[in-house]
Structure 1
């Protein structure tokens, strides 16, 4: 009875939001986005942006500025942006899918699934620890000297934890990157083959790539670094698993929408997506899911900024394991930021409201500004609190 009442309440809230936007009109929605995005771009010297909004299953994309300064090529709905660490939500989905297919369990020890690490510190680290950055202090990035698979394995074999597994969260590409690598290995295919086959195509993501094909290079934006130079992401160890996706605002918005409503998806994929939403660690005012990071109601700007503060990226944080994992609570917002040297991204959604947002830019502008912009738009839509 309680679950049924909750579903009715969620459906009602989503319906009312959709009606509110319909009554306000598409012009008002455009004005809301314009009033936030244009000053943001001016303040942070962002050349181009694409913004997507989904409400009650209806999706809109707004584009601004240029994808390339020199040519004046404009951002369009077809423009491809690097999304940096938002890629980790896709990797987490593949890992959850591997569990749904019986390829592994999140509780498995890492060395069981990657025998090359048997007899190392990874005998006591679970796949869930990897996926939630709680292995015990893996660094933010691989050392510069790690360029090959053999060097990667040597790095992991020589690593020693700073903390007991599960006790601290320290954001880490080598952590969730290894999780994605093992997920693909457990499914018997290379990661770069599995991601398009298992995630992109079933979700209808026709403009989402790990490697942009020659036919779409004309749509690939140039990113702009702090010195103003044009850049694109460089290859790196486990880059596909951690920061390698390039996509359009429409495709990323479609991914966000599928996270809110998996109707019509293969059962295993639908369950995998739901699995990524379950809270695994409480870290201050943030709850770490698989890929997604969750902030509970009331959804104020201060709470969102604290959950996305630089300390959450660069400093180890005490963590409380949630057992059993916690499903999203009414009013919660799930989100993920992502950056490369020349791009900045943010994707977030409120499942109980049926509202989601994506912000893609070809400059790595400050995360607090992204959070504030998304919060203001969502507040105007009635999806979050002040």
Structure 2
């Protein structure tokens, strides 16, 4: 794209006030759903960013830290848990668009330490879509460190044939991210923080929050209201390590809605993450993102983000060929750490989306209900 035209598009898209729905009406919808939820779930602070036709409105509630009483703003940094997987997927898509890998590559081709293991028969795409053969949701405690994870992968034995079953897994997409960064010749944190995030112009998105930004980092709270933040673990950056602000995450949503504002390799990367590879019930698995036909009933969206979808194996019904972004779909991703809960949903055909960030982990169904109400209001 001509650089001047790209700049004009970016300027038009990334204004930050107003939507077609009257601001007071939208405020009423958000307030009516968020305020009772915060009280019911004991959430100290929560932020909602509503994206609609290139503009964003922010609705901030409560405090980022109960001790200091610092209020939540659109600049507060939240842990986003598994929403990080969509960033990892975008990095992998960027590596493919840059000619450094193919999703069809065998995993062990990109790391000699994996040769002679089960990963001689597992593709990068299978890792990225949780279908290598039954890698668990989390690493076993004995393998949950950078020093022990490779030994775990070298000795791991699949329970299913590669590609047969979907079992949602941090080690699976985490290894995909690790290998994607290897193909770019960089450690993952370097590839993310020095290559991808700057190219996306996300200036408040981090794997490690810098000391001079620590005052913006919300304090998370566990189910007993004890202060907690995410700790180190094997492939933590790749699977659940991003910390970001509502403002940056809203920009990220708009880039997914309008990838034409980006340079060509990133346009291709986002197209790769938006591609459907297989179906499980009503959900189609993309790369990081998951999508559904739109409009969608609330219960169908709750079911797609339920505990059984995360904890149980499901037969993967592969699409042949893989399905490019359909005309009317809703993309979404949940994310949780011990002290934070996140949800992102957006509908490209309607040019709208919702970001919900909180400094407490609370049920996915409650996040989905809020987002569904807001999108329903916007779509009227």
Q: Give the TM-score range, shorter chain.
A: over 0.9
The residue correspondences of 1:1-386 to structure 2 (distance < 5 A) are 21-22=19-20, 24-382=21-379
The Cα offsets for residues 123-144 of structure 1, whole Å up to 9 and x where unpaired, read as 1100000000000000111111
- Residues 283 and 319 in structure 1, CA contact (< 8 A), matched pair in contact too: yes
Q: Is the 8 A contact 2:255 2:261 kept in 1?
A: no
Q: CA deviation at 1:120?
A: 1.1
What is the rounded CA distance, in whole Å, between the counterparts of 1:311 and 1:42 in structure 2?
Answer: 27
CA shift digits 1:318-353 (9 cap, x unpaired): 111112111232321000000000000001110111
**CA apart distance, 1:152:** 1.1
Classify the secondary structure of the residue corresponding to 2:332: strand
Q: Which stretch of structure 1 is more off in the superposition, 160-169 or 194-203?
A: 194-203
Could you tell me whether the CA contact under 8 Å between 2:82 and 2:333 is conserved in 1? yes
Q: 1:115, 1:200 → 2: CA distance?
A: 28
Q: Tell me which residue corresponds to 2:5.
A: none
The 2-side partners of 1:345 and 1:264 are apart by 26
Q: SS of the counterpart of 2:56?
A: strand
Worse-matched range after superposition: 141-150 or 196-205: 141-150
Q: Does structure 1 conserve the Cα–Cα contact (< 8 Å) formed by 2:335 and 2:342? A: yes
SS at match of 1:233: coil
Superposed CA deviations along residues 223-279 of structure 1, whole A, max 9, x for unmatched, are 010111010110111111010000001100100110010233110011101110000
| Displacement over 4 Å in runs of 4+ | none
Q: Distance in 1 between matches of 2:43 and 2:145?
A: 35
Tell me how far 1:121 sits from its aligned partner.
Answer: 0.9
User: Structure 2 CA distance, aligned partners of 1:56 and 1:126?
Assistant: 38
Q: In the aligned structure 1, how far is the partner of 2:22 from the partner of 2:86?
A: 32
**Residues in 1 aligned to 2:309 and 2:144: alpha-carbon distance in whole angstroms:** 27
How high is the TM-score relative to the length of structure 1? Answer: 0.92
Shift of 1:297: 3.0
| Residue aligned with 1:49, SS | strand
**Residue matched to 1:6:** none
Specify every segment of 5 or more residues in structure 2 that has no aligned partner in the other structure, as ranges. Answer: 1-17
TM norm structure 2: 0.93
Superimposed CA distance per residue, residues 82-130 of structure 1 (whole angstroms, 9 cap, x where no aligned partner): 0000000000000010011111100011111112111111111000000
User: Residue 150 of structure 1: CA displacement?
Assistant: 4.4
Q: CA RMSD in A?
A: 1.4
Separation (CA, whole Å) in 2 of partners of 1:148 and 1:47: 31
What is the total number of aligned residue pairs between the two structures?
364
CA–CA distance in structure 1, aligned partners of residues 193 and 351 of structure 2: 26
Task: Tell me how far 1:147 sits from its aligned partner.
Answer: 4.7
